Amino acid sequence: MSLVRRALPEDAPEVLRLRQVMIDSVSGGGDAGTWHEESLPTLRARLADPDGTFAAFVVDHPERPGALAALAVGTAEYRIGRETNPHGVVGFVFSVATDPGTRRRGYARACMDGLLDWFRVRGARQIQLTASADARPLYEALGFEPKPDPLMELRL
């Protein structure tokens, strides 16, 4: 039996906790108090939709029942096709995290393998992510290659 499973609506608080672990490791922390509470209903609804464009793959914490050890989260989006991706399905990985007490056990890689399989089933031909320096070796081992970053952002 695989360690990895698709996250369920009842996993939402733990998914948010591990997302905060990821955010803290990249940006040094933030206020989890209000945004976690506000995010829970939407996250639960997304996790409840097995055919949706959002998925989270998790590993249960081996020592703490009800807690998660790791997760990988992503979305599959349609963009107009092109030569290298005629169907236009693009995957985006945006949250990969491991509980600090369970690192170096292969859990994040296992979650990523589950997420990548999910992308394949949906016909994604390209998967994008932004990587921290610490996570870069994992993504390179999975076959990700660095690309120039023309990313711009507008917050509404």
What the chain holds in terms of domains, given with CATH numbers, is: 4-141 (3.40.630.30)
pTM, to two decimals: 0.91
- Bridge pairing between strands 54-60 and 4-6: antiparallel
Torsional sign, CA 87, 123, 83, 88: positive
Could you give the CA distance from residue 39 to residue 76 in angstroms, rounded to a whole number?
20
Q: Do residues 72 and 20 touch, judged by C-beta distance below 8 A?
A: no
Q: For 62-80, b where at least 16 C-beta lie within 10 A, e where not — what string?
A: eeeeebbbbbbbbebeeee
Q: Which of 2, 34, 7, 1 is nearest to 97 (CA)?
A: 7
What are the pLDDT digits (tens) for 103-123?
Answer: 999 999 999 999 999 999 999
pLDDT tens, residue by residue, 9-28 = 999 999 999 999 998 888 77
Residues 6+ apart with CB under 8 A from 46: 52, 54
* Interval 51-91: pLDDT, tens: 999 999 999 999 999 999 999 999 999 999 999 889 999 99
* Phi, psi for residue 68 in degrees, rounded to 5: -105, 145
Number of helical H runs and strand E runs in the chain: 4, 5
